[in-house]
Amino acid sequence: MRDDGRRARKWARRGNAATTTIDRLNADLKEAMKARDAERTGTLRMAISAMKYRTIERNTQLSDEEQLDVLRKQVKQRNDSIEEFTKAGRMDLADKEQRERTILEAYLPARMTGDALQAAVKAALAGLGADAKFPDAMKTAMAALKGQADGKAIQEAVKAEMSARGAA
């Protein structure tokens, strides 16, 4: 059926359907266009386009978790661009990427950081033996914390936990 989007909007107006990430993006895109916010409009269009490409690639509708994965990938791309632009001294482009990252992060659930992340890593690694290697620990931690924290933050927490185990 070709009018799935129209049907979803109809049900959403009635309050019978939970809004998905793509629905929120489309609604916010309309608002950004009405407000003539060019940067927000462009960023939301890129995110929606990435989701459509993933849908075509999978040949099926994306689940909400898959939609969030697409957004996480977009945020990661922005982080990489910010790092490269900063190295090259192009602060104007780095600032633009930071603003786009902020727009996209608003659609993602809150990330775990600091003590909560360290405690979660410690709990995830509790089942591993004392002689466990770093790659095994990373695999276990990433599986347990998928989508809850940044990969680099998990890596740092695992390194800290592995060094604490070695010192103990």
Q: Give the SS3 label for residue 8.
A: helix
pLDDT in tens, 4-19: 445 444 444 444 445 7
Residue whose pair of structure tokens reads 């266009």 in the numeric block: 33
Kindly state the DSSP code that residue 36 receives in the 8-state scheme.
Answer: T
- Write down the architecture of domain 9-105 according to CATH: Orthogonal Bundle (1.10)
Pick the range with the lowest mean pLDDT from 67-76, 94-103, 133-142. Answer: 133-142
pLDDT at position 133, please? Answer: 82
pLDDT in tens, 74-117: 999 999 999 999 999 999 999 999 999 999 999 988 877 778 88
Measured CA to CA, the distance from residue 41 to residue 57 in angstroms comes to 24
Residue whose pair of structure tokens reads 């060019």 in the numeric block: 38
Instruction: Supply the DSSP string of 48-108, one letter for each residue.
Output: HHHHHHHHHHHTSPPPHHHHHHHHHHHHHHHHHHHHHHHHTT-HHHHHHHHHHHHHHHTTS
Domain spans in the chain, listed from the N-terminal domain onward: 9-105, 114-167
